[in-house]
Amino acid sequence: MPTQRPRRSKKRNNLADILRNIHPLTHPLKKVLKKLLSFKIHKRPEIAFIIIIILTILIFSCLYSNLLRGILSGAPRPSEEAVMESPSPETVTEEETGLTQEEETTEIELDIEKKKQDILQTLQYRAANGEPVFSLLIESPPQIDGNLDEWMEELVPAILETHPISQPTYLKENYTNPSDVSGTFMVAYDEERLYLAIRVIDDVFSQPFQGSDLLKGDSIIISLDTDLQGDFYERANNLDDYRVGLSPGDFSSLSPEAYIWIPQETRGDEISVASSKTSNGYIIEAAIPWWNFQNFEVEDGKAIGFDISINDKDFLEERELAISSSPSLDWNDPTSFGTLVLLDTTKISGD
């Protein structure tokens, strides 16, 4: 036993030296440490554990109160400095533009609307043939499969509008009401193709025809004057005018197909067509390559003569009537077509 005493007293002396050198501000800590040293810790480990916890809390409290003083005195914490140096993108957007997300969306819509109006002022078009329809440039093409989900969500650079097909134009005396036949369409484009999504409401589906006869059954006819400004007053179809038929098929043995009558009769094999049956009619989705139209160049702000008509056959042997997007459509007169304008919403003036 006597051999242990000098070692213990030496240890205590060293600790006492350390305590003497501790800053006077930490005086209360000295007391705690002294108590600790006089206490037989090795016999009460649980007490030692509690003391260590208390000390840890005290040390962190000191550190935190220093941070708090710093904050109150206006000095930024290191993390705050980092945030100030590299603000988040949202902060930049809002700080730079002074606009919220919603306000920015409205701003974009207003810009698009202004661009539409600016384009219309430079164009010749016939307002009497219906409001011009804008076809928006899309980044990725829709899948031509008869399902229009992507038109509602993924295609949008801006919201794609839905336009009515509702004007009885051919054998209109047979027209009764919108549940007999009516429809809506959406249209979009890219450098390669014109894309169409058409929803038809039709009480009785009947399409036993194909090829050049497809227009005698339930089907769609697209009319285009691809050089509207060039022959604005030309009342007869010529080489820049097109009549394209789209058949949904019959949902059993006949497949969806396209056929071209004007300017030259030919099967529309380069046109992609898909259809699906709905509870009250059918859907047609189609992609028409621009290269079908001779000398046609895709251009932001370009206007073409345009109509979509729906042929309806219910109980008679052939189509009973047609309704159109243009109010007074005559397929043989391009000056009766409505107007379609190509619009690139990524190019807004002022950008």
- Shortest Å, Cβ 230 to Ca ion: 7
User: Shortest approach of Ca ion to residue 170 CB, angstroms?
Assistant: 14
Compute the least distance from the CB of residue 226 to Ca ion, in Å. 7
Q: From the CB of 217, what's the least distance to Ca ion, in Å?
A: 8
d(CA 240, CA 228): 9
Among 312, 326, 338, 339, interactor with Ca ion by CB under 5 A: 312
d(CA 121, CA 301): 11
Q: According to the binding rule CB under 5 A, does residue 250 interact with Ca ion?
A: no
Cβ distance to Ca ion smaller for residue 14 or 294: 294
CB of 225 to Ca ion, least distance (A): 4
Binding test (CB under 5 A) with Ca ion, winner from 142, 245, 256, 338: 142
Query: Considering only residues 180, 250, 257, 307, which one is a binding residue for Ca ion as defined by CB under 5 A?
Result: 180
> Do 267 and 186 contact (CB within 8 A), yes or no?
no
The overall longest dimension of the chain from CA atoms, in Å, is 126
Those residues with Cβ within 8 angstroms of residue 318's Cβ, 6 or more apart along the chain or in another chain: 216, 217
What's the rounded Cα separation, in Å, for the pair 331 and 220?
13
Closer of 33 and 198 to Ca ion (Cβ): 198
Site string for Ca ion, 204-233 (x = CB under 5 A): x-------------x------x-----x--
Strand partners, 312: 321
Q: Write the DSSP assignment of 256-268 as a string of letters.
A: PEEEEEESS-EE-
**89 upstream amide cis, omega within 30 of 0:** no
Span near Ca ion by CB under 5 A; candidates 22-30, 49-57, 96-104, 197-205:
197-205
Is residue 241 involved in binding Ca ion (CB under 5 A)? yes
* Strand 181-189 relative to strand 193-202, pairing: antiparallel
Question: Could you list the residues that contact Ca ion (CB under 5 A)?
Answer: 142-143, 145, 147, 180-181, 202-204, 218, 225, 231, 238, 240-241, 312, 314, 334
